[in-house]
Every structure is written in C-alpha cells, then in structure tokens.
C-alpha cells in the first residue's frame, strides 16, 4: 500500500512540475488571442510596478520587488520572439 502512495505522489509531482510547460505548448499551438493580450498586459504591468516599487522600503516591498523584477525580466527576455503566440506560450 505504501508503494502505491509513493507512486501516486511521484506522478503528481511530475504532473505539477510539467504543467507550466504543457500550458505553454497549448497556448503556442491553440493560438488564443485572449491569452496573448493578457500576457502582454501582465508584462507591461510588471514593468510598471517594478519601477514603482524600486525605491520603496518595508516588509511588503521586500517580497514584491523580486516578484515584479521577475515579471519584467520575463517580459524583457521574450520581447524579441517574433511569433506572438510562441512568445505568449514561453511567458
């Protein structure tokens, strides 16, 4: 019985870790324009918030600055991908 639980946990971990990749592939292949627009707006929002939180100090800013830095960097790194659907899937 214990081996079966370990197998289920292992499969769940694989599914959980591969979900973002599968979602990106689905977006790149299905080409939903709504998702493309949403990821573009999310990247712009992250860049704007990063500049707003860059000089702030405090407990909440300690956690938000790295989050917004990550969003803006993903937007910056993927900006040169020509296909908007592939770019959105990578984001």
pLDDT at position 12 over 60: yes
Percent of the chain exceeding pLDDT 70 equals: 95
Record the pTM.
Answer: 0.60
* Overall number of domains in the chain: 1
Angle at 89 between CA 80 and CA 20, to 5 degrees: 130
Q: What is the mean pLDDT of the chain?
A: 78
CA gap 42, 35 in Å, rounded: 10
Domain containing residue 11: 2-90
pLDDT at position 4 over 70: no
Task: Please tell me the predicted confidence (pLDDT) of residue 2.
Answer: 52
């Amino acid at each position: 019985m214990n081996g079966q639980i370990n197998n289920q946990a292992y499969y769940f971990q694989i599914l959980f870790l591969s979900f973002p990749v599968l979602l990106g592939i689905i977006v790149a292949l299905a080409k939903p324009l709504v998702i493309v627009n949403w990821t573009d707006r999310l990247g712009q929002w992250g860049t704007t918030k990063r500049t707003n939180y860059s000089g702030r100090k405090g407990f909440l800013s300690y956690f938000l600055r790295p989050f917004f830095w990550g969003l803006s960097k993903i937007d910056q790194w993927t900006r040169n991908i020509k296909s908007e659907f592939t770019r959105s899937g990578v984001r």
